[in-house]
Amino acid sequence: MRKYKKFIYLISPKKILSSDFYDDLENIFKTKKIFFFQLRLKKEKKRKIIIIAKKIKKLTKKYKVKFIINDDPYLANKIKADGCHIGQKDFNIKNARKILKNKILGITCHNSIKLAKVAICNKADYIAFGSFYKSKTKKTKYKSNIKILHLVKKITNIPIVAIGGINLDNYKKLLLNKANFLAISGYIWNNKKYKPIEAIKILK
């Protein structure tokens, strides 16, 4: 049996261009499938990110979704988000933990057990691996596989997030092979066949 009923770690689109996004997001949250929502706007000015984040926070609070900011622990604190996700080159892990204190800290570990052990030692709340499949959302330098999920589960009980090219055709395989959460973005926001709410509903 799956440990987490809410198994989706939803990542924002690269750009948020219209108010329709917030309506879509609220409808998605109503499905009760989203555990984490990460705001990831790499090319937006911080002032704009703060405005967007405040709107999203109202929704995450209403629907009891954990609100995660990408890359910036200071910003996560400023907007009182639930936590922050950092990549290996984005921010020093030890410093991030000091800044965030008891907030959620998630770490990208690519396809490396060694990086996972460092994250565990620094009290990460979850560790993310990928890319499991080819992704159109992000250029992927590292390729991960099912084997690493089983290896990591032998050394820790920290939740594992699988990321990269996850869609309707492959998501069940990851859940069946010990991934706790699935980080999804392109399948929801850039789906040519389904609207965002439809794309979420068919993931069961």
CA–CA dist 160, 67 (Å, integer): 17
Q: What is the pLDDT of residue 1?
A: 37
What are the tens digits of pLDDT across the range 49-95? 999 999 999 999 999 999 999 999 999 999 999 999 999 887 889 99
Helix (H) / strand (E) containing 37: strand 34-39
User: What SS3 class is residue 141?
Assistant: coil
In the predicted model, is pLDDT for residue 196 greater than 80? yes
Of 1-5, 108-112, 159-163, 170-174, where does mean pLDDT reach its minimum?
A: 1-5
What are the tens digits of pLDDT across the range 180-195? 999 999 999 999 999 9
Q: What is the pLDDT of residue 33?
A: 96
Indicate the pLDDT class of residue 104, thresholds 50, 70 and 90.
very high
Amino acid at 20: D
Please provide the size of the chain in residues. Answer: 204
Mean pLDDT of 151-165: 95
CA–CA dist 58, 68 (Å, integer): 13
More confident residue, 141 or 41: 41
Mean pLDDT of 170-187: 95
In sequence order, what are the residues at sequence separation of 6 or more whose Cβ sits closer than 8 angstroms to the Cβ of residue 17?
none
E-strand stretches of 46-111: 66-70, 83-86, 104-108
- Structural domains of the chain, ranges and CATH numbers in brackets: 8-201 (3.20.20.70)
